[in-house]
């Protein structure tokens, strides 16, 4: 299998708290990996270190052929990262503008993505006129408009109601199946993890260790009906067991 | 909200009328609002204050524009780097706390006893206010937005004109409003004490000397109204520009 992200003997502490101590892990190209674990288990910290936002204390990591133009990161506080002075269209267009793409190309990309998301935005309106769920979809469209090869998502659905949550998962799955990016998805929700991911990695409490790696063989695309199957429940249960271990360590 | 704006002037005039009606202050030294307002209307109708009004507005406008042209880019640049701002913070805070009019002799030395020195001193004080507010606006930009742009691969220039500039606007407008009021105050004060052929400040001073007290208050009233209207104009521009305020 083709590894795209490698982490070797990573070290990281905040003041007196050791988050990572000789932590190693690999992520496969074109796969969706969910990272699941107790609060404060260094899930977000790992993404931040890999994205270059937070410096490591030691060890090594590599994202093969890393290029910030083909990398996207959707933060937990997505609402704060949308720009209220730009209308909805210009918010989605921003990453392409940064890449100095032509207006026609931007138009084409956004239309393409909009078709996939089945979502009709009034492009001339502003993000603050949208509901929380719509803002979240806008933030996702902004992150996906560049067709990133590597995508980090931190707690994407935590602020959404269940209906919007399911809707967004459906769009994402469609997008993932079409474009096959490498995705690292940090989540607090087992159902989300099992619904979307090819592989679920369960983290322990600090200092972080990998408690278990669970392969998710549930066939794609996964619909609402897949959530009701025995197979789904089985995988969900094994994640839960691993989680149980992680909080009793 | 707009209808509440009328309450302020109303309170002012009532208090003023009560003080003058109860003769808490000698009527000679504080004429009532009706006397003063009719005096003002008379001055406007007769046209004797038009030249003074135009001169004062011209000075205020010019000093404000100069302050804007110098202060806005400087504020943006200083705000970009906290290190640079901290290194000149003393100078900004020093002059922000010094009465600019006290420095007038220095400006007279440089610009001579001309209009230039009046405009320069008002522009100087306003520039400091604009720099201070704009730089703060930039420095207090939301980190999450800057970070998001950085992750997208934006360079410094792109972050500046797509994020920081817009982030600073609400604070910049606070600076502009303070600056235009300050310009007005300084222009009036310099007109009063340095002298000029035309100017509302000169008229205030002249009427004071010849005990034309109702004219004096009429002009003071006019100056206050001008200050209010200038602020209102900036609020209107701000409302159009910063449609996202508070959202």
Tens digit of each residue's pLDDT (9 = 90 or more) over A28-39: 999 999 999 888
- Summarised one tens digit per residue, pLDDT across range B186-228 is 999 999 988 788 999 999 999 999 999 999 999 999 999 999 9
> Which backbone phi and psi does B233 adopt, to 5 degrees?
-60, -45
pLDDT at A147 over 60: yes
> Mean of the pLDDT values across residues A73-81?
83
- pLDDT cut 70: percent of chain A above it: 99
Average of pLDDT values for A166-188?
Answer: 90
Average pLDDT over residues A188-192: 88
Q: What order do you get walking across the sheet with A210-215 strand by strand? A: A71-74, A150-154, A182-187, A32-36, A199-203, A210-215
Q: Which residues on A lie below 8 Å from B152 (Cβ)?
A: 68-69, 72, 94-95, 98, 146
Task: Give the model's confidence band at B151: pLDDT under 50 very low, under 70 low, under 90 confident, else very high.
Answer: very high
Interface contact flag, B149 A77, Cβ < 8 Å: no
Model confidence over A162-174: pLDDT tens digits?
A: 888 888 888 889 8
Distance from CA of B237 to the nearest CA of A (A): 15
Is residue A241 scored above 80 in pLDDT? Answer: yes
A248: confidence class by pLDDT, cuts 50, 70, 90: low
**Chain A partners within 8 Å of B149 (Cβ):** 94, 98
A123 close to B (CB below 8 A): no
Domain residue ranges of chain B, discontinuous segments joined by +: 39-241
Q: Does the pLDDT of residue B91 top 60, yes or no?
A: yes
pLDDT in tens, A127-136: 999 888 888 8
Q: Does pLDDT of A249 surpass 60?
A: no
| Residue B174 CA to its chain's centroid (Å) | 11
Q: How far apart are CA A186 and CA A167, in angstroms?
A: 18
For the ranges A76-80, A107-111, A242-246, the one whose mean pLDDT is highest: A107-111
* pLDDT above 90 for B244: no
Contact (Cβ atoms closer than 8 angstroms) between residue A38 and residue A247: yes
Task: Kindly state the average pLDDT of the residues A1-10.
Answer: 87
Q: What are the chain B neighbours of A128 within 8 Å (beta carbons)?
A: 244, 247
CA A37/CA A46 separation, integer angstroms: 12
The token pair at A185 is 């998805």
Phi, psi of A92 (to 5 degrees): -65, -35
Q: Which CATH architecture group holds B39-241? A: Orthogonal Bundle (1.10)
Using the Cα atoms of residue A73, residue A74, residue A75 and residue A79 in order, give the sign of their dihedral.
positive
Pairing of strands A71-74, A58-63: unpaired
Residue with tokens 């590599």: A62
Using alpha carbons only, what angle is made at residue A17 by residues A13 and A18, rounded to the nearest 5 degrees? Answer: 50
Judged against a pLDDT cut of 90, whether residue A160 lies above it is answered with no
Helix, strand or coil for residue B96?
A: helix
Instruction: Give me chain B's average pLDDT, please.
Output: 91
pLDDT tier for residue A95 given thresholds of 50, 70 and 90? very high
Question: Which ipTM was obtained for this model?
Answer: 0.86
Residue predicted with more confidence, B57 or A10: B57
Q: Angle at which helices B165-194 and B50-80 pack, to 10 degrees?
A: 140
Q: Which two tokens stand for residue A41?
A: 């288990």
Q: Is residue B245 pLDDT above 90, yes or no?
A: no
Mean pLDDT within B80-99: 90
Structure-token pair, residue A228:
């009701």
Residue B129 C-alpha, separation from nearest chain A C-alpha, in angstroms: 25
pLDDT band at A144 (very low <50, low <70, confident <90, very high): very high
Give residue-wise pLDDT tens across range B13-68. Answer: 999 999 888 888 887 888 889 999 999 999 999 988 999 999 999 999 999 999 99
Whether B28 and chain A come into contact, CB under 8 Å, resolves to: no
Distances (CA, A) of A119 to A33, A85, A159, A221, B2: 26, 22, 19, 20, 38
B222-235: pLDDT as tens digits? 999 999 999 999 99
Question: Is the Cβ–Cβ distance between A126 and A87 less than 8 Å?
Answer: yes
Domain boundaries, chain A: 66-183, 197-248
Class of domain A66-183: alpha beta
Token pair listed for B219: 């002009």
pLDDT of residue B45: 92
- Mean of pLDDT over chain A: 88
- Cα-based distances in Å from B241 to A84, A86, B235, B245, B247: 12, 12, 10, 9, 14
User: Nearest to residue A48, comparing CAs of A152, A135, A194?
Assistant: A152
Q: Would you give the DSSP letter of residue B5?
A: G
Query: In angstroms, rounded to a whole number, what is the distance separating the alpha carbons of residues B4 and B26?
Result: 32
> Angle A88-98/A103-117 helices, nearest 10 degrees?
120
pLDDT at residue A210, as a whole number: 85
Instruction: For residue B217, give the nearest of B226, B232, B227, B207 by alpha carbon.
Output: B207
- Confidence (pTM): 0.82
* Arithmetic mean of pLDDT, A145-163: 88
pLDDT of residue A240: 87
Among B145, B154, B162, whose Cβ lies nearest the Cβ of A81?
B145
Smallest CA–CA separation between B23 and chain A, in Å? Answer: 54
pLDDT above 80 for A120: no
Q: Span A89-95, mean pLDDT?
A: 94
Over residues A103-120, the mean pLDDT reads: 87
**B149 contacts A94? CB cut-off 8 A:** yes
Instruction: Please state, in angstroms and rounded to a whole number, the distance separating the CA atoms of residues A244 and A232.
Output: 18
Phi, psi torsion values for A181, nearest 5 degrees: -80, 165
Count contacts between A and B (CB, < 8 Å). 56
d(CA A7, CA A22): 10
Q: How far apart are CA A196 and CA A36, in angstroms?
A: 13
List A residues 47-86 in contact with B (Cβ-Cβ < 8 A): 51, 53, 67-69, 71-73, 75, 77, 80-81, 83-85
């Amino acid at each position: 299998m083709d590894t795209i992200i490698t982490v070797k003997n990573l070290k990281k502490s905040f003041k007196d708290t050791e988050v990572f101590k000789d932590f190693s892990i690999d992520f496969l190209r074109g796969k969706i990996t969910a990272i699941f674990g107790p609060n404060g288990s260094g899930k977000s910290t790992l993404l931040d270190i890999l994205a270059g936002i937070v410096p490591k204390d030691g060890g090594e990591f590599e994202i093969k052929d890393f290029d910030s133009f083909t990398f996207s990161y959707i933060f937990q506080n997505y609402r704060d990262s949308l720009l209220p002075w730009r209308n909805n269209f210009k918010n989605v267009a921003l990453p392409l503008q940064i890449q100095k793409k032509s207006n026609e190309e931007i138009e084409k990309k956004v239309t393409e993505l909009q078709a996939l998301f089945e979502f009709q935005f009034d492009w001339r309106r502003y993000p603050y006129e949208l509901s929380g769920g719509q803002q979240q979809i806008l933030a996702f469209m902004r992150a996906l408009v560049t067709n990133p090869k590597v995508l980090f998502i931190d707690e994407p659905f935590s602020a959404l109601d269940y209906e919007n949550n399911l809707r967004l998962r459906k769009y994402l799955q469609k997008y993932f199946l079409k474009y096959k990016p490498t995705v690292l998805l940090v989540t607090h929700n087992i159902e989300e993890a099992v619904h979307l991911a090819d592989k679920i990695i369960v983290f322990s409490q600090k200092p972080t260790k990998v408690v278990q790696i669970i392969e998710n063989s549930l066939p794609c695309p996964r619909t609402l009906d897949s959530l009701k199957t025995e197979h789904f429940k089985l995988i969900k249960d094994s994640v839960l067991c691993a989680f149980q271990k992680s909080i009793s360590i | 909200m707009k209808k509440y704006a009328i309450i302020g002037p109303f309170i002012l005039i009532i208090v003023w009328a009560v003080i003058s009606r109860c003769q808490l202050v000698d009527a000679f030294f504080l004429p009532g609002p009706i006397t003063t307002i009719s005096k003002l209307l008379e001055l406007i109708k007769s046209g004797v204050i038009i030249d003074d009004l135009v001169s004062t507005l011209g000075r205020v406008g010019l000093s404000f524009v100069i302050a804007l042209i110098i202060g806005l880019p400087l504020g943006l640049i200083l705000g970009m780097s906290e290190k640079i701002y901290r290194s000149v913070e003393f100078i900004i805070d020093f002059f922000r706390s010094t009465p600019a009019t006290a420095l007038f002799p220095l400006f007279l030395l440089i610009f001579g006893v001309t209009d230039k020195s009046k405009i320069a001193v008002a522009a100087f004080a306003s520039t400091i206010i604009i720099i201070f507010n704009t730089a703060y606006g930039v420095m207090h930009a939301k980190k999450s937005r800057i970070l998001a742009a950085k992750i997208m691969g934006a360079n410094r220039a792109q972050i500046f004109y797509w994020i920081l500039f817009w982030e600073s606007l609400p604070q910049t407008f606070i600076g502009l409003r303070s600056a235009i009021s300050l310009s007005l105050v300084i222009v009036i004060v310099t007109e009063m004490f340095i002298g000029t052929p035309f100017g509302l400040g000169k008229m205030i001073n002249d009427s004071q000397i010849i005990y034309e007290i109702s004219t004096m208050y009429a002009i003071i009233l006019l100056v206050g109204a001008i200050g209010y209207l200038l602020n209102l104009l900036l609020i209107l521009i701000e409302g159009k520009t910063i449609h996202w305020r508070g959202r």
